[in-house]
Structure 1
Amino acid sequence: MKDITNQFETYYSPFSALVFYRCNSAMNESYVEYYDMDKNGAPINAHPLTVHEAIKLAESLTVEKDKANKLTSDGILPANLLYFDAESDKIMWYTKPQFRNLYFTKSLGIPSGRCHTPAMLWTADRKSLNVYALIGNRKPTLNSPLFYAPFFNVNESGNVCLGSVDVQTEEKGSVKELMKLWETYFFNSYFSHLMAEHNPVNGNCVLLWEDLSGSEKCFPENMLIKTNQKLKDLLK
Structure 2
Amino acid sequence: MKNLTNNFSSSYQPVKALLIYNKQTEEAEHNSIYVESYDIGKFGNPINAHPLTVKETLALSGIFQTAQELKTGFLRCKGLMPNKVLYVNPEKGGYAVWYTPPREVPLFFSGSLGIKSGRGKVPAMIWRADRESLAIYAMKCNRKPMEKTILYHAPFFNIYCDGKVCMGNVRIDIGQETRLEDFMEQWEKYFWNSYFSHLMNDHNPVTENIVQIWKTQISSDRAFPCQVLKPTRYTLKNLFV
The answer to whether TM tops 0.5 is: yes
Aligned to 1:73: 77
Aligned to 2:129: 124
CA contact (8 A) 2:70 2:177 kept: no
Change in CA separation of 1:205 and 1:65 when aligned onto 2, cut-off 3 Å: same
CA contact (8 A) 1:162 1:186 kept: yes
The residue identity in structure 2 corresponding to 1:104 is F
Structure 1 residue runs of 5 or longer lacking an equivalent are 1-21, 24-29, 36-43
The 5 Å alignment of 1:77-226 reads 77-88=81-92, 89-170=94-175, 173-226=178-231
Q: Deviations over 1:29-49 (max 9, x none)?
A: x994649xxxxxxxx954435
Q: CA separation in 1, counterparts of 2:40 and 2:110?
A: 72
State the identity %.
39
Q: CA separation in 2, counterparts of 1:167 and 1:130?
A: 14
- Which TM-score applies when normalising by structure 1? 0.74
Q: CA separation in 2, counterparts of 1:202 and 1:80?
A: 28
Give the match's secondary structure for 1:111.
coil
CA contact (8 A) 1:172 1:178 kept: no
Q: CA separation in 1, counterparts of 2:215 and 2:118?
A: 10
Per-residue deviation, 1:68: 4.7
CA contact (8 A) 1:148 1:226 kept: yes
Q: Deviations over 1:19-62 (max 9, x none)?
A: xxx89xxxxxx994649xxxxxxxx9544359xx9xxx8xx569
CA contact (8 A) 1:201 1:225 kept: yes
Per-residue deviation, 1:71: 2.1
Change in CA separation of 1:72 and 1:211 when aligned onto 2, cut-off 3 Å: same
The residue identity in structure 2 corresponding to 1:167 is I
Change in CA separation of 1:219 and 1:78 when aligned onto 2, cut-off 3 Å: same
Per-residue deviation, 1:137: 0.6
Give the match's secondary structure for 1:176.
helix
Change in CA separation of 1:46 and 1:176 when aligned onto 2, cut-off 3 Å: closer
Per-residue deviation, 1:67: 2.9
The residue identity in structure 2 corresponding to 1:212 is Q
Q: CA separation in 1, counterparts of 2:144 and 2:15?
A: 60
User: Paired residues, what number?
Assistant: 199
Per-residue deviation, 1:181: 0.6
Q: CA separation in 2, counterparts of 1:141 and 1:195?
A: 29
Q: CA separation in 1, counterparts of 2:102 and 2:121?
A: 7
CA contact (8 A) 1:32 1:49 kept: no
Change in CA separation of 1:66 and 1:163 when aligned onto 2, cut-off 3 Å: farther
Q: CA separation in 1, counterparts of 2:82 and 2:39?
A: 51
CA contact (8 A) 1:101 1:187 kept: yes
Q: Deviations over 1:96-124 (max 9, x none)?
A: 01111100010100000111100000001
CA contact (8 A) 1:95 1:119 kept: yes
Q: Which is helix-richer, 1 or 2?
A: 2
Give the match's secondary structure for 1:213.
helix
Q: Deviations over 1:161-218 (max 9, x none)?
A: 1111111112552111000110110001000010011110001111111111131011
